[in-house]
Chains A and B, each alone.
Chain A
Amino acid sequence: MDNNHTVRNLILWGLGFALMVAALSMVFVYVPTEKESGIVQRIFYFHVPVAWVSFLAFFITFISSILYLRKRTTKWDAIGCASAEIGVIFTTLVLITGPIWAKPAWGIWWTWDARLTTSLVLWLIYIGYLLVRSLATDSARGARYSAVIGIVGFIDVPIVFFTVNLWRTQHPTTIIFEGGLENSMLITLLVCLAAFTVLYVILVMQSTSLKTMEAEIKHMKNIQSD
């Protein structure tokens, strides 16, 4: 069992490392510079995968939250929490890389467009998720409460997007994907997506096993003190 774990971890780490190196070299060497927006467009290969991972992370939190409330095993709570933490970090990266790109491309740091606003609201919801965990009067409560927020918050995402989209229809912003992507750019994007997805899986697994160990140690301490 333990041996299997090590082998699986090794494969994942190796795959992640290879993909990351490939992604970096493709972004900086292989892919041609975009004609209109110039060199800054390369942040796109970082921005989009990071955004994808943050949505994936919150989706996994949503699923784990449901499973935790059904089955009450610490494993699902640990996965849900780990995924939410990573999701918040990646959403923060989205909110940082976005304006860096937007300033040269659109001439503004921020606009209240549907995608941007939804990301910001999403970020705030999951900050609340993490806050509830640390401020709940005991850890079992925190797990239950955050699971409820993991469910309620995720369902809110499409509604927020739809509403804000409608709210801003009179103000069309720059269209990013006009006419699709060139082949080399698409391949680079796909490699970057794969690299970040593997990175996400590695991070969740590490964080989950850490949280499970923490819970075990806490449990042992409780037994000892009783």
Chain B
Amino acid sequence: MNRAFTKILAIFWKDLLNEFRTKEIIVSVLVFILLVLVIFNFAFDTGTGASDTVASGILWVALTFGGVIGLNRTFAIEKENSRLEGLMLCPVDRSVIYWGKLAGIFTFMLVIAVVITPVFLALFNLPIFLPRLALIIILALLGFSAVGTLFSALAVNTRSRDIMLPVLLLPVVVPVIVSAVKATGPVLAGMPWGEISTWLQIMVAFDIIYLVIATLVFEYVIEE
């Protein structure tokens, strides 16, 4: 168990180091999400402030689309330099590779969310300090990354892989998106916990279910 953890950490560290040096994923996705927010401002003509439901929808569409682009990049990089083969030659269990990649992807998504959410809240004139929103973001991004890691490893070996990932991923993560949007609205409006607890529970259940399933089936996705 402990050895597996060290190996997961090694794969995670490799991805982190690569991102530090190239800054390929985080920066480009951040710019993209910022652009989505700007476009939404025009699309909905939000003026000085958006209603809580519209604002929560905007945040999650932006994070979802940005997430898909980020996910596509993480495995495309591995593919370009045949690094995926190298990773598979490592004497580790396939599930270790999954958890290593997941840790990297989840961390990138979190960093992106940490930077972009205050910007979003400021742009739409919403209260900036929302600790409960952080919890929603963590749970939603974990579920998104859990399925996303599995599907991007799969999509990278198909033709027209850039479109394959969203086509597969978005229908499956519908429960996460619905829950995140429904929980974010009341948080932005400053409503009590009772309004959001059910949605948090759904996300926790989704995260657990898909972390287990993805761990089990990941070996079939990258075996050659």
Contact = CB atoms under 8 A, between A and B. Distances in A.
- Interface core residue of B157, B198, B205 (most chain A CB under 10 Å): B157
A182 B112 CA distance: 58
B72 to A, nearest CB: 15
Nearest to B169: A128
B147 interface: yes
Contact of A152 (B147, B158, B167, B179): B147
B86 interface: no
Nearest to B202: A163
Contacts of A152: 147, 150, 172, 210, 213-214, 217
Chief secondary structure at chain B's binding surface = helix
A137 B167 contact: no
Chief secondary structure at chain A's binding surface = helix
Contacts of A131: 164, 167
A141 B221 CA distance: 8
Interface residues of B, number: 30
Contact of B175 (A136, A144, A159): A159
A135 interface: yes
A128 B157 CA distance: 15
A124 B172 CA distance: 9
Contact of A160 (B147, B159, B175, B209): B175
B154 to A, nearest CB: 5
A151 B202 contact: no
Given A125-B172, A148-B150, A167-B178, A132 B158 contact: yes
- Report, nearest first, the 3 A-B pairs whose CB atoms are least far apart: A163-B175, A124-B171, A128-B168
